[in-house]
Amino acid sequence: MASAKEWLVNAIPGSLVRFFASPYVAGDSLEKALEKADALYRARNVETTLDVLGEMETDRERVRSAVDLYLRTLEAVRERDHCTISVKPGHFGYYVDPSFCKDNLEEMASACQEAGRGLTIDMENTDVTDFTLDVYCELKPKYPILGTVLQSRLHRTLDDVDRLGGLAAHVRVCIGIYKVPEPMATQSKRVMKENLLKITEKLFDGGHYVCIATHDIPTIEKAWERVRESGIPKDRYEFQMLLGVPREAMIRKLVEAGERVRLYIPYSVHWDDAIAYLRRRMLENPFMAGLVLKNLVRRA
Ligand code: FAD
């Protein structure tokens, strides 16, 4: 039976959810995502990573359709050096069968390697963390274009950096969108942000490439100050943010200083998928619904 929270989130009309989602989703076609990516690059020198919305897929056929759509996305960005691709194991069949998922990820990694386009395996909830890191560590030596994600809210993450030793990994460091209880994760936003900086430093020390993914201005400033103080070359890191989160001034400041900035651009082929995605996100992390609302109000 649905909980009261599920009932409430599902009762929000699709049109309203779509209204909330629209700043954060490039649209309902690959063409719209490409238009957005090209416009950002042309107008602001901002690069992008494209993501097809979908997760927790349990139907084998739908997973294969997602892989095909990703392969089409790759063909479209083959000549676009300003684009990379991001994918979720849950969308690539983890919940059908983990080995099926691994095969799909490898197929995509191999195609991206051949095209010379970056591919990041996003990090989902804690049931997939070990699988994601294991697959990453196994595939990375074969497909150097591969990247993955570490979440600073998890207590395990500083130790997980040790697993990447010697891989010259490409790692996005973020707080993590999934709400995870103790004893697995800190509940303190302050600690999550401090951890993000600690993980970043440890990754730099290990010789990895770091994508600093946060919208929190003080955290961006601190990370930026530390890379400059340590003399870390600009080709060892980038800043990443989500499409739709209003951070124009910060992005401009970074780009004008010659820093690489990349926006994460989700798109779907049906608004229904985008609406379902946002509903799940609201259920997982009601805080996110608050953030979305706050940003919309600020924009208005
Ligand atoms: P916060 O303190 O949460 O946010 C700072 C401010 O930014 C807020 O006050 C708000 O104004 C704004 N803001 C932040 N997030 C949003 C939002 N979603 N909508 C509207 N406004 C917002 N998480 C994962 O678990 N796995 C991933 O693979 C993953 N990939 C990501 C890729 C990128 C490029 C980015 C930027 C984030 C990614 N995340 C991922 C989400 C991330 O973990 C955080 O949940 C999210 O970025 C919010 O944390 P914050 O560091 O921005 O700090």
Mean local confidence (pLDDT), 85-113: 98
- What one-character DSSP code corresponds to residue 125? S
pLDDT reading at 253 higher than 50? yes
CA distances from 119 to 2, 66, 111, 195, 251 (A): 36, 15, 10, 25, 23
Residue type, 101: C
Query: Residue 296 has which token pair?
Result: 């919309």
Q: Ligand 1: residues whose CB is within 6 Å?
A: 122-123, 149, 151, 172, 174-178, 189, 213-216, 240-242, 245, 264, 288, 291-292, 294-295
pLDDT value at 298 more than 90: no
Q: Give the pLDDT of residue 15.
A: 81
Q: What is the mean pLDDT of residues 80-108?
A: 98
Cα 155 to ligand 1 centre (Å): 18
Q: What CA–CA distance (Å, rounded) separates 300 from 297?
A: 5
For the chain, which domains are there?
Answer: 26-267 (3.20.20.220)
Q: Quick one: CA torsion of 133, 134, 137, 140, rounded to 10 degrees?
A: -90
Provide the 8-state DSSP code for 28: S
pLDDT of 19? 79
CA distances from 57 to 38, 60, 63, 115 (A): 30, 8, 7, 27
- Quick one: tokens of 215? 């919208």
Rounded to an integer, the average pLDDT of 222-228 is 97
- Decide: 155 and 194 in contact? Cβ < 8 Å: no
Facing residues of 49 across strands? Answer: 84, 264
pLDDT band at 264 (very low <50, low <70, confident <90, very high): very high
Tokens at 172, concatenated: 């996005």
Q: Please tell me the predicted confidence (pLDDT) of residue 300.
A: 45
Mutate to test the pocket of ligand 1, among 175, 237, 238, 264 (most ligand atoms within 8 A of CB): 175
Give the least confident one: 46-55, 258-267, 287-296. Answer: 287-296
The better pLDDT of the pair 293, 170 is held by 170
Give CA 111 to chain center in angstroms.
20
With contact defined as beta carbons under 8 Å apart, do 203 and 171 qualify?
yes
pLDDT band at 271 (very low <50, low <70, confident <90, very high): confident
pLDDT greater than 80 at residue 289: no
Contact status, residue 279 vs residue 9, Cβ threshold 8 Å: yes
Q: Which residue among 51, 261, 291, 292 has the greatest number of ligand 1 atoms within 8 angstroms of its CB, and so is best to mutate?
A: 291
Q: If you search the block for the tokens 């980038």, which residue do you land on?
A: 238
Total-model pTM? 0.93
pLDDT band at 292 (very low <50, low <70, confident <90, very high): low
How far, rounded to the nearest angstrom, does the alpha carbon of residue 63 sit from its chain's CA centroid? 19
Distance, CA of 144 to CA of 149 (rounded, Å): 15
Q: What is the dihedral of CA 263, 267, 272, 278, to 10 degrees?
A: -20
> Dihedral of CA 163/165/166/169: which sign?
positive
Stretch 244-252: mean pLDDT: 95
Q: What is the mean pLDDT of the chain?
A: 92
Separation of CA 114 and ligand 1 centre (Å): 31
Choose between 180 and 19: higher pLDDT.
180
When pLDDT is cut at 50, 70 and 90, the band that residue 4 belongs to is confident
